[in-house]
Each structure stands twice: as structure tokens, then as C-alpha cells.
Amino acid sequence: MNATLRPEILKSVQIYQDFLKNHGIAMPGTHAVLGSGIGSSFVDDWIPKNWEAKGELNFRDLPAISSATAPGHAGIYRFFRERTSGQVLCLQVGRLHGYEGLTPEDATLSVMVPRYAGTSNFVLTNAAGGLKLEWEVGSIMMIRDHVNFTGQNPLVGPMKTGVGGAPIGPRFPDLSKAWDREYTEIVRRELTTAGLDTHDGTYLGVLGPSFETPAEVRLFASWGMGTVGMSTVWEAIALAHSGARLSGFSLISNLGSGLNPGAVLDHFVILETSRIAARKVIQALFAIGAGGK
């Protein structure tokens, strides 16, 4: 027997929809999650002239969503409308992580509430450790596939029905096409236009909060992984299960532990490295948002 969404989730969906209605904007055609250092670097001067800010909604205003506690993650939805087409872009400034003490399901609600509300296109970004020496820090890895190495999954538990009463997705979803190839090429094109170098690869998600050991990095690299980080995989599973169109990329903010002898991994250094490329990433996301689909 299917379970229904918890009352606080349904209430959060309604608050989200009411916010859009009250601000006179359509459902966002694109929802982009800004990873570490990208969201915290964003300033209003970066908003293209053909876009207008249409307000913001804090995670804490939605009863189902926990406040973000990780440094560099504000926990805010910012909404923008393209002046000519009316296309709406939601930039999610910060995300939730399992290492903050959340269940996989609760950690994904920052993307699933907008999904339940009606958004279909999602771009997941993260700052991640690079596992290939030939890839420069500051370049981009397009996520072609992922490995969920957390040992947990947001779909564990009873199957659930969505807002309309139909099942959110199948019991055993096929993730072989979770990352939409056509959408990924659209995203890559805009990143390249913005001046960023891109690669293709597989993202490996770990639980954190400790950084990987050199032995773990050597293991992951031997498997052919491209980047490693503490987010994204749960969101990808939940969104793909629901039928969302999904793309994503890693901003390579550092080399994995042991690959750069003498370097000490520090979250605040990673934030600063991410800021260097953040403006180009934001430029690309607005261009993607202008397409709307």
C-alpha cells in the first residue's frame, strides 16, 4: 500500500506555489542548485540586464525543509524572470546534506518540494574533488553518471503518492538514463560559451563530513571516477525517480586527497576556489534559464 506525502511536505508545496502566485511569476522552467562557493559568491551585479529579480523564499519558511547549516549554503530560493519571454529561473542558493544529520529523504526535500510543485527541469551543481591529474582545478566535469557510495537511498521506505494522488515513481526505478544526455549538452554549451573548460565523467557521492583519505582517493580513481563529493547523488535519485529532466556538473575545486602532495584539504579554501569560477557558472545558468526547457 502506498503512503501519502507527510502533511508538512504538502503544506510546503502549497506555500511554494502560493509564493509564485503572489509574486506574479510562472512555475520556474529551470531550477538550478548552486553548490559550495557558487551560491555564496553570487551578487546582484551578476544578474543579466534582461532579467529581473522576483523575490526569494527561505528554507525556513517551508515547514518540511530544514535550515541549511553547512558553510557557504544559505538555504534560499531566488527567483528571476526574463523580461521579454517571461521565463522563470529559480536559483537554489545552498543545499542540504546527509552529514548535517538528515535522512536521505529529508535531505532531498529542497529539490523535491519544487518538483512536487510543478518544476520539471533541474541542474545540480557541486564543488568536488578532482580524481584525474590532467583536469585542472577550476574546470568543469559534466556528470554523465554517478555512484552512490553513501550506503543510503532516499527511496527507502513505503512507496509514496504525490500531490495528485498518483505514485511519484516506480518501486524499482531504472537510473541508466537519470542524467539526460540532450539536456547535458545544452548545459555544456552554455558553460563553454561562458569560458569554462568541460570534461565528461562519473561523480562519486560519499556521506562526509570527513574528506576522503588518500587510500580512498586512489581506490575511487582506479574505478574510473572523475570527481568525488558529499552531495548530489540523493537529489539525482529522487528527481530521476519522479521523472524530472536532470543535468549536472562538478566544479573541480581541488584535487583529491594525496593527489597534490603537501596540500591540506580545507572547506573554506574550497569555497574561495569555487568563487573564482562562480560568475561564469552563474552566467551560464541564466542562459540555460532563458531557454526554459
All domains of the chain in start order, with CATH = 3-291 (3.40.50.1580)
Using the structure block, give the residue that is written with the C-alpha cell 573548460.
197
**Helices 104-117 & 7-22, crossing angle to 10 degrees?**
40
Using the structure block, give the residue that is written with the C-alpha cell 521506505.
157
237-254 mean pLDDT: 96
The burial of 38, by beta-carbon neighbours within 10 Å (0-12 exposed, 13-18 middle, 19 or more buried), is given as buried
Confidence of residue 163 (pLDDT cuts 50, 70, 90): confident
Confidence of residue 183 (pLDDT cuts 50, 70, 90): very high
When the pLDDT of each residue in the chain is averaged and rounded to a whole number, the result is 92
Q: Which pLDDT score is estimated for 265? A: 67
Percent of the chain whose pLDDT exceeds 90? 77
Phi, psi of 56 (to 5 degrees): -145, 155
Distances (CA, A) of 139 to 201, 264, 280: 12, 20, 11
CB 65 within 8 A of CB 6: no
**In 3D, which of 158, 62, 147, 160 has the Cα closest to residue 111?**
62
Beta bridge partners of 31: 90, 122
